[in-house]
Amino acid sequence: PSAMLALAVFAFSGRPSPLALRSHAVMQESVAEAPVAPPPPPAISVMRVGDKTLAGDWGFDPLQLADSSDKLAYYREAEVKHARLAMLAAAGWPVAELVNAPLSKLLGVDTLLQDGRAPSILNGGLGSVSLVYWVAILGLAVFVENKSIDMQLNTGARSADYLPGMIGFDPLKKDSPAMRAAEILNGRIAMVAITVFALEEAFFRAPVVTETPIFFKPFWTLF
């Protein structure tokens, strides 16, 4: 009714009435005081096994180890680290068995292979590896961990869309859901593969490149 009266006064006099101005001010205050919806919480704080927030989430957790968001983040951080290391190891193990002997002969030094097998805890030979190598590997591990530990612990150095395993390294700008899914899938396969390499060589006492040459040598050399 007050708004209709204000319009009538305006139509009669040709200028806005105090009542019209006051009604307009009240409307503006109502709009300004409208509550703003809070932003959604970070995905890492509400994710659960099976909700597909993480790449490679197959909803598989039969022991219910990751029954909270914090535990899920912890276990995924560990899984991604082991997956990346396993991919390096699964590639480096057979490459070492293929090239270490001829490369050592070329350089005139003793090979590190143990009867053709890569040095490992089960195969032996780790004591022959140079101390310089171990120091370099330890330094590299400390450097990488130092760059990512703040994000993992959420000490104020990570973005709102951070998910476990994101260390901010993507020089080729290829990050995507498909690439993340491929990484974790290949990493899981690599963790199984490197375990099989170690057990196979310990049991059969022969290099994996000769026990299963179909995986490591050109197929035309097998016939």
Q: Which token pair is 131?
A: 């101390």
pLDDT tens track for 125-174: 999 999 999 999 999 999 988 888 888 888 877 788 889 998 888 899 99
pLDDT tens track for 41-78: 888 889 999 999 999 999 999 999 999 999 999 999 99
Buried b (16+ CB within 10 A) or exposed e, 166-197: beeeeeeeeeeeeebeebbebbbebbebbeeb
What is the identity of the amino acid at 115?
Answer: D
pLDDT tens track for 192-209: 999 999 999 999 999 999
pLDDT at position 22: 58
Instruction: Count helices and strands (H / E) in the chain.
Output: 7, 0
Full-model pTM: 0.78
pLDDT at position 3: 46
Neighbouring residues of 16: CB distance < 8 A, sequence distance ≥ 6: 6, 10
Work out the mean pLDDT of the chain and round it to a whole number. Answer: 85
Neighbouring residues of 186: CB distance < 8 A, sequence distance ≥ 6: 83, 87
